């Protein structure tokens, strides 16, 4: 992902989070330039912009850089959506998930046998 988009500059943290959360630079630009709501954050000169786009409620934290006439994007996320698990975690969990799917399948098969034997 590029470090800049139009007059936005993305911090490394923001770029990583946008990648993890499937957020496009254009969506961030839309949120910052036409928010439904905005409010100051606890850190000085930092603002949270909020906007709903395509049924996703975006939150973008940004700081205006007057010397560059650009906006630094600090972070971005979508309210109500969980971050994707890292690939290494998905690989570690996969054997357990497969095991439980087999157990559920066997239990369902056993229940079907019992219901057929009663008839």
Full-model pTM: 0.66
pLDDT score at 119 = 56
Domain 4-79, CATH class in plain words = alpha beta
pLDDT class of 115 with cuts at 50, 70, 90: low
Q: Where are the domains of the chain?
A: 4-79, 85-119
pLDDT band (50, 70, 90) for residue 59: very high
Question: Comparing 3 with 111, which gets the higher pLDDT?
Answer: 3
Q: What is the pLDDT of residue 39?
A: 94
Q: How high does pLDDT run on average in the chain?
A: 86
Select from 50, 49, 60 the least CA-distant residue to 24.
60
Q: Supply the pLDDT for residue 13.
A: 92
Is 51 in contact with 30 (CB distance < 8 Å)? yes
Residue 25: C-alpha distances to residues 87, 88, 114 (Å): 23, 26, 56
Interatomic CA distance for residues 10 and 119, integer angstroms: 66
């Amino acid at each position: 992902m590029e470090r800049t988009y139009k007059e936005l500059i993305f911090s490394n943290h923001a770029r990583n989070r946008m990648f993890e959360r499937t957020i496009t630079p254009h969506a961030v630009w839309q949120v910052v330039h036409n928010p439904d709501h905005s409010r100051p954050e606890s850190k000085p000169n930092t603002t949270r912009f909020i906007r709903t786009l395509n049924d996703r409620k975006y939150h973008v934290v940004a700081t205006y850089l007057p010397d560059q006439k650009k906006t630094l994007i600090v972070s971005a996320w979508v309210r109500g959506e969980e971050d994707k698990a890292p690939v290494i975690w998905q690989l570690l969990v996969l054997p357990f998930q497969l095991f439980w799917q087999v157990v559920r399948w066997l239990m369902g098969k056993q229940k079907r046998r019992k219901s057929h034997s009663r008839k």
